[in-house]
A and B are shown apart, each in its own frame.
Chain A
Amino acid sequence: MIDTVQDGTERRLRWSAACLLIGLGIQFVSLLINHPLAFLAFILIGSPLVLAGAGLYLWSIVIHSER
């Protein structure tokens, strides 16, 4: 049972890390380009993915502690 819980938490953590990696990756590339579209990519794609990843991480530790 403990292993299942751990697996679930780790799976969510991995998803969280994946969202963060994609979001931060987009942000990183956008920071290297001084163009309005880079700014939009940062705001509309990178930042929501980073916030989703951070939110998923928080959710995963809250779910884990409830169990």
Chain B
Amino acid sequence: MVPVFVAITIALVFVFFLFPGVTRQRGGKILAFFPLFILPVAAAGLGGWYHLEQSKRLEFCLSCHVMRDHGRSLYIDNPAFLPAAHFQNHRVPAEEACYTCHTDYTMYGDINAKVRGLRHVYVYYLGNLPRPADIKLYRSYNNRECLHCHEGARSFEEGQIHNADPAIMAAIKANETSCISSGCHDQVHTVGKLNELKFWTPGKK
């Protein structure tokens, strides 16, 4: 829909490019304000929003070949692997799996994610590209991102281990005990060992 809007705007601007004399009349001046100002500015705004939405998609993240193994890890046939279990069981939207877990659920989380993305593009094309297995998070994964969905959920709130000691739940919610790196849910992308693992093929039983 947005590309169509931009295409219509282009067609209208083209009319004024070919016939700028239309603006000699008062009506023409008023008419020109829409295709030469309102519509292009609206097209740029809508286009920016459309791009941001598209950039949340799995194929956008995996379009850089260095991320292919991370994408492949979503198909590991083992429920102990956290990203694979979330992706395969649609605990996160499958078509936006990367973005759903790797954005910050804060006020400027989307913008921060995009700024990090710009840095990734810079490194990808102009910097020293790490091996897929050497790609690490900038800082340890924040429990806030897990709790965005799991907080309040029965499986989390009433989980045996989460409630084995009253201090555990408080420490998880305060991000003092990491969900991922404290030895509980520590099987994540594991891209260095993909050759040793079995993979799930969608549609194949």
* A contact residues vs B (CB 8 Å cutoff): 6, 9-11, 13-14, 16-18, 20-21, 23-25, 27-28, 30-32, 34-40, 42-43, 46-47, 50-51, 53-54, 57-58, 61
Contact A31-B41, Cβ < 8 Å, known A6-B24, A36-B121: no
CB contact list, B16-74 vs A, under 8 A: 16-17, 20-21, 23-24, 29, 32, 36-37, 40-41, 43-44, 47-48, 50-51, 54-55, 57, 59-60, 63-64
Which residues of B pack against A, CB within 8 Å?
2-3, 6-7, 9-10, 13-14, 16-17, 20-21, 23-24, 29, 32, 36-37, 40-41, 43-44, 47-48, 50-51, 54-55, 57, 59-60, 63-64, 117-118, 120-121, 124
Distance, CA A43 to CA B121, complexed state (A)? 13
- Chain B contact residues: over half helix, strand or loop, or mixed? helix
Nearest CB of A to B44, in Å: 5
- What is the interface of chain A mostly: helix, strand, loop, or mixed? helix
Taking a contact as CB atoms under 8 Å apart, the answer to whether A27 and B121 are in contact is: no
Residues of chain B within 8 A of A21, CB atoms compared: 10, 13-14, 17
